[in-house]
Amino acid sequence: MSFAYGDAEASSALARTIDWPLSYARRAGRIRASEIRELLRIVDRPGIISFAGGIPDPELFPVDAFRAAVDGILGNPKQARVALQYSVTEGYEPLRVWIADYMRSRGTPCSSDNILITAGAQQALDLIAKLFAGAGDTILVTAPTYLGALQVFDAYEANYGAIDLSGRADCPYAFETAGERLAAAYIMADCANPTGRCLTKDERFALLTLSERCSLPIIEDAAYEALRFEGDALPSCQSLDILRCGSVERSRVLYCGSFSKTMAPGLRLGWICAASEVIRKLTLAKQGVDLHTGLIGQMAMLDVVERLFDRQRERVRDAYRCKRGAMLAALQEFMPAGVSWTEPEGGMFVWLSLPEAADSVALLPRALDEAKVAFVPGPAFYAAEPKRNTLRLNYSKPSMDEISSGIKRLGRLIREIHTKDGRGQIGVNVQLGHIAGMTSSRG
């Protein structure tokens, strides 16, 4: 081997250490690992019952239907050549048409011009943030909110404000005086992650009033919308907005949909439904990111949803309704006094509040070691002022037996800790009081 430099120079060049962060862009400072994510890396150890993942039950994936779809596409030479070729950024036109039909059935009259296919709802959030949020702009969020959305908004150096759903919010003045630009409000109207909560009709209207007053784009993350298995499904914020303004072209709502929770997340397929002018701009933004979402996956997804979307959605809803029931029953049986939780009407999560003085971040290592149970500590889901006594439990992935034995072990540990600390009788947490009619407790 020969070096261009002398030996000494070469070896010192090889030995040098690089302080990479000095070379990163300023915004990279907001892209960081969290203490909680580090802990969550070990939850898949054997013997651990994990309520931490935000993932669907793989037993429900329509594997045979996808296998048949891919076989059909690749077995047809003409289709195979299309499927494996580069494609258009907007997405596979027949799938866009299917999604536009689906959106029409959900109360959003639109055409394929209003649909951009994305790599999951996650990429939809990223593209929207890229287009709407400049460094230092404010995005309004709920507390708690989806931590993956905070990760996206952080990367674009957003600031955060709280969404006021009282219908009285006078935000333009508050934000103008603070010298900040208000970029958007981010909301999960149905079966939110992490609480499972659905917005009431009044809250949806309050949000739209806020949007109207502040000329504020609304990012409606509908990743769990199809997973409502109880109660009356309410119209999406986008469809309510269209009732007011007359057309998707005039709506300020950017709807983010996903096939991950109903069909399978591995294909990474979601969509944005919005005014065609915004879709055209987002398409340009996506072009720079990945040119387009993989075509073979889009073609296979179309084949599968055309055949069994309704059936598959019912199957998933039935399964999660049962698992949600098992988790609520186990919580009722095994949680000590002073612990309360949400009773979601859909989605994949229950949100637990421990006694006020408890700390779920400190509880996690003990839960892993002593109870062999994992969950996500609540602070991960707050943009600011985390409530440290909260945590998220997932019921879609664990089996019914795991739900029952895992909650039993977790309940025992929480009881032990609070009995030892003499805090067993701390009153029922009232922080979820705003989720009227949606909480249960062992008080």
Ligand X SMILES: Cc1ncc(COP(=O)(O)O)c(C=O)c1O
- The token pair at 311 is 């059936």
CA distance 236 to 242: 10
- Asked if 186 touches ligand X (CB under 6 A), the answer is no
Nearer to ligand X, 273 or 417 (CB): 273
Which residue in 50, 112, 122, 283 binds ligand X (CB under 6 A)? Answer: 122
**Among 6-14, 33-41, 118-126, 158-166, the segment contacting ligand X (CB under 6 A):** 118-126
Q: How many CA atoms lie within 13 A of 194 on its CB side?
A: 29
Three-state DSSP class for residue 183? strand
- Asked if 239 touches ligand X (CB under 6 A), the answer is no
Which residue in 221, 241, 303, 343 binds ligand X (CB under 6 A)? Answer: 221
CA distance 48 to 2: 52
Ranges within 53-92 binding ligand X (CB under 6 A)? 54
Which residues partner with 256 through β-bridges?
221, 272
Nearer to ligand X, 150 or 275 (CB): 150
Which residue in 146, 309, 320, 381 binds ligand X (CB under 6 A)? Answer: 146
Q: Quick one: which of 346, 407, 352 has its CA closest to 144?
A: 352
- The token pair at 256 is 């983010």
**Among 99-107, 119-127, 242-250, 385-393, the segment contacting ligand X (CB under 6 A):** 119-127
- Asked if 50 touches ligand X (CB under 6 A), the answer is no
**Among 24-32, 115-123, 161-169, 364-372, the segment contacting ligand X (CB under 6 A):** 115-123
User: Long-range contacts for 412-420 (Cβ within 8 Å, ≥24 apart)?
Assistant: 412/334, 412/371, 413/363, 413/366, 413/367, 413/370, 413/371, 413/373, 414/335, 414/336, 414/339, 414/354, 414/358, 414/363, 415/336, 417/358, 417/363, 417/366, 418/336, 418/338, 418/355, 418/358, 419/336
CB of 61 to ligand X, least distance (A): 13
CA distance 315 to 304: 14
- Asked if 188 touches ligand X (CB under 6 A), the answer is yes
- Asked if 133 touches ligand X (CB under 6 A), the answer is no
Ranges within 255-284 binding ligand X (CB under 6 A)? 258, 260, 265, 270
- Asked if 345 touches ligand X (CB under 6 A), the answer is no
Do 248 and 223 touch, CB atoms closer than 8 A?
no
Nearer to ligand X, 120 or 398 (CB): 120
| CA–centroid distance for 415 within its chain | 31
Q: Quick one: which of 125, 178, 181, 174 has its CA closest to 153?
A: 125
CB of 303 to ligand X, least distance (A): 19
**H or E element, residue 210:** helix 201-214
- Asked if 150 touches ligand X (CB under 6 A), the answer is no
- Asked if 406 touches ligand X (CB under 6 A), the answer is no
CB of 290 to ligand X, least distance (A): 13
- Asked if 138 touches ligand X (CB under 6 A), the answer is no
Which residue in 53, 72, 94, 148 binds ligand X (CB under 6 A)? Answer: 148
Nearer to ligand X, 233 or 337 (CB): 233
Burial of 420 (0-12, 13-18, 19+ CB in 10 A): exposed
Nearer to ligand X, 122 or 159 (CB): 122
- Asked if 375 touches ligand X (CB under 6 A), the answer is no
- Asked if 237 touches ligand X (CB under 6 A), the answer is no
Nearer to ligand X, 334 or 349 (CB): 349
CA distance 126 to 91: 17
Nearer to ligand X, 149 or 371 (CB): 149
Do 267 and 122 touch, CB atoms closer than 8 A?
no
CB of 260 to ligand X, least distance (A): 3
Q: Using CB under 6 A as the criterion, which residues of the chain lie in contact with ligand X when the complex forms?
A: 54, 120-122, 146, 148, 188, 193, 221, 223, 258, 260, 265, 270
